[in-house]
Amino acid sequence: MIEQTFFDSRASDHSAASGCATRTRASSKPAPDESTLASARDLDSRLVATRRAERSAQYRLAVLLVEMADGGFFRILGYTSVEKYAEIVLELNFRLTRDLIRIGRKLSELPALNAALAAGEVDYTKAREIIRVATPDTDRRWTEHAKLTSCREIERDVSYAGKGDAPPTGEPEPERKPSRPRMVIQIDA
């Protein structure tokens, strides 16, 4: 078995998506030739660009849904709520619609997050968490943190933070203990 390590020349683009700058895989196949490697890199580039465009589209949905909700335009179109409009016309579920509207309403207060979402650099799932704790003073730090960490890590970091706290630096926090006391009753027979 041959172990191959591929260096990702776009580590900054891939770091947030893959979690690392290099990818290792075990294989019994020989290393790919230059043509195959070029094809793989081209496909990779197109996939990354498509994902970025998808994220940017989510940003536009958030902004436009806020406009639809705040202007009451959904009523003019014959719908009882913006969520019902989004469900029927856009085929978005209630939770996604609610999350996008909540994000869209906070973006004017968080310019760094707004720019990152518009550029497709941060996914809405990370933004959904960040808006719970970020303020104009911590916006840039949370946005940069989101670009470098996974959504799961963002969720964990937000759970430790209070409104206005900066994101953690360095090592992750130790595992939290349960917040309520636990009583164990042991019966000896």
Q: What local confidence, expressed as pLDDT, does residue 31 receive?
A: 82
Over residues 82-91, the mean pLDDT reads 97
Model pLDDT for residues 29-47, shown as the tens digit of each residue: 778 888 889 999 999 999 9
Rounded CA separation 69/77 (Å): 12
pTM: 0.71
pLDDT band at 11 (very low <50, low <70, confident <90, very high): very low
* Residue 185, pLDDT score: 82
Helix or strand holding residue 58 (H, E): helix 34-71
Amino acid 146: pLDDT: 95
Q: Who wins on pLDDT, 13 or 149?
A: 149
The string of pLDDT tens digits covering residues 94-125 is: 999 999 999 999 999 999 999 999 999 999 99
DSSP 153-182: HHHHHHHHPPTTPPPP-SSPPPPPPPSS--
